[in-house]
Amino acid sequence: MKLPHFLSSYLKHSKDLMASHDEGEAMSLAVGGDYEAVGMLEFQLLKHLGLQPDHGVVDVGCGSGRLAYQLKDYLTGPYVGIDVVPELFQYAQRKCQRDDWRFYAAPGTTIPEPDASADFITFFSVFTHLQFEETYRYLQDAKRVLKPGGKIVFSFLEFRIPSHWNIFEASLQDTRPDKVLNQFMDRDGIRVWAAHLGLKVEQILDGDRNYIPLAQPVRWDDGREMQQAGSLGQSVCVSFAA
């Protein structure tokens, strides 16, 4: 049986990295690098959006645990990390050492958690690698799992942000049939999806602006430092059940 594109491409990508790098470096590169910096930015963004220690979080596409590692000493509520690559979420589980947290393999584009069980459902750098129908299915199930008053937070690429263009150009140059998909979305489409799903878009944050207030400086692997405010580089949509 043929594997879904997002599963086959990421399994190969992760396997290649693990074969050519030590574990720590491979686990960072598998989620795009800057393990500490991006994890801290994601954590500070969620706090800015209202994440409380006793909240429940479902982290779809948790990877090797960038966000989970930053949450481990803050979150007392339940955490669920889902990913398509077992080696990644197993690494996250070992690194976080939270026996009360659950990590498991993603079963397609569904979230096998109870109805109304999560305060925050995150998709960081997930929809950037999925086809539109797959993203819509995920959002459909996320609404089911979301508690009243909870929030769905996802990052995305868009052509209106000039700094995202180089990602599109790189995809143009990469003609490998098994390459990882880089998908762009537009805001009109997101709002139409939200209307059909019974979601409300609370805000969309521009990927080229510093939209995350920082409690402490964040240093990137190349030495750059963000102070007072920072950005993931991707745009972010925040929505809730209408």
Average pLDDT over residues 183-187: 97
Task: Please state, for a pLDDT cut of 70, what percent of the chain lies above it.
Answer: 93
| DSSP secondary structure of 24-64 | HHHHHHTTTS-HHHHHHHHHHHHHHTT--TT--EEEET-TT
End-to-end, the C-alpha distance of the chain in Å comes to 39
**Higher local confidence (pLDDT), 16 or 50:** 50
**Confidence (pTM):** 0.91
**Kind and range of the H or E element at 196?**
helix 187-197
- The pLDDT-based confidence of 7 (bands split at 50, 70, 90) is low
- Tell whether the model's pLDDT for residue 16 goes beyond 80: no
pLDDT of residue 179: 82
DSSP letter, residue 157: B
Average pLDDT over residues 105-112: 90
* Residue corresponding to tokens 């990508």: 13
Q: What is the CATH number of domain 5-241?
A: 3.40.50.150
Q: Render pLDDT for 215-228 as a digit per residue (tens, 0 to 9).
A: 899 999 999 999 99
The answer to whether the CB of 155 falls within 8 A of the CB of 125 is yes
> For the chain, what are the domain ranges?
5-241
Task: Please state, for a pLDDT cut of 90, what percent of the chain lies above it.
Answer: 79
* Residue corresponding to tokens 């602006």: 209
- Tell whether the model's pLDDT for residue 1 goes beyond 50: no
- Structure tokens given for 72: 């481990």
Cα separation, 58 vs 117, in Å, equals 9
Mean per-residue pLDDT of the chain: 92
The region of weakest confidence among 20-34, 40-54, 113-127, 195-209 is 20-34
